[in-house]
Amino acid sequence: MSGVASSWRPIVRLAARGDGVSDDGRFVPLAAVGDSVDFSSNPPRIIAGPHHAAPACAHYPDCGGCQMQHMDEAAYRDFVIDRLSRVLALPADVRPIALSPPRSRRRASLKALKRSGKLVLGFHSEGTHALVDIADCPVLAPELMALLGPLRVLLRARLRDGQGAGIALTLSDAGVDVLLANVSAEGLAAIEALTNFADKHDLARLSVEGPGGIDTLVERRQPVLNMGGVAVPLPVAPFLQATREGEAALVAAVLESVGGAARVADLFCGLGTFALPLSQKAAVLAVDAAGPAVMALGATARSAGRRVEVQHRDLFRRPLVDKELAGLNAVVFDPPRAGAEAQAKALAASPVPVIVAVSCNPNSFGRDAKILVESGYRLTTLWPVAQFRWSSHVELVARFERQA
């Protein structure tokens, strides 16, 4: 910077967790690309550049849910692409980033703690056990946000001083599904309080989890989610994509990648996010270790007359191998954050012509992609998906073709 002391350094890129990185390699929290930092002060002083933005949330940066509200959307989109380019060579065909809008998150896990008669309800501060009491959250869907105030009242009355509780909220197509952990449902008064809460706030379902497991107290409507034109009954506190927009982007990318394949495997299938849309045109083998999800998918597919064969199987310990993969026109795999190294190695040894990887962790994806590429597959197309808005969490869909 002309005329400025040498203690000032420009921020030239972002680290994987969203910290700014200066041109001499120093990490600066809450700095955006284009900012300038004075390292002679303690803490370092930031002068905002053209991509610095006012946070959308009053709780930022104390709440650990978002790391990147201090930058504008253009800088955030650049971060997503840079995050991916650091773990793999990007193909020529990289599609536009699918970024979910504010107030679209349809599932959330929160904590509550009663202390000295007061109740704190919210998310943990990043890297600590301290709870940030949430007055408003600009990522949560309005239907979920509207329940936080009433839940405070309920839990303040139901918890003992010093007692904590867990809250899992899921917005289904039939309404909100609530799971409360460590909240007593023993005795008439407790049951009535919880039942009245569910009725007053029009919950689809209310369950409690204790030492003996999960007990559903109220089910006014079966929570369901539409997947590929089929209403899928949801188990309590299910895993599902964080936003409708994110799910739609992932499904569209998978369907385009598979094309007209007649026989497809969906590995780590869950409730059928991809299996059911694929089953509209293809015969699908759906495999996962999550028993309740696989059972729900199987029952739903049979009821809807879809060609989905389900298999309850731990793909980390027993990946599908070449004989089982023979005859498939395409394989979709969507593992958890750890990736699917064993399954990637089995796919690398297979003749499957098209492999579609869905990932929520660029690092483990980079490892699995390298296995496929080194065995003769070519990465042709990449779809970046950012459904955890303002977070460093990046998802993607990647299409691989077996080279002749």
- Catalytic residue ranges: 360
Q: What is the 3-state secondary structure (H, E, C) of the chain?
A: CCCCCCCEEEEEEECCCCCEEECCCCEECCCCCCCEEECCCCCCEEECCCCECCCCCCCCCCECCCCCCCECHHHHHHHHHHHHHCCCCCCCEECCCEECCCCCECEEEEEEEEECCEEEEEEEECCCCCEEECCCCCCECHHHHHHHHHHHHHHHHHCCCCCEEEEEEEEECCEEEEEEECCCCCCHHHHHHHHHHHHHCCCCEEEEEECCEEEEEEECCCCEEEECCEEEECCCCCCCCCCHHHHHHHHHHHHHHHCCCCEEEEECCCCCCCHHHHCCCCEEEEEECCHHHHHHHHHHHHHHCCCEEEEECCCCCCCCCHHHHCCCCEEEECCCCCCCHHHHHHHHCCCCCEEEEEECCHHHHHHHHHHHHHCCEEEEEEEEEECCCCCCCCEEEEEEEECC
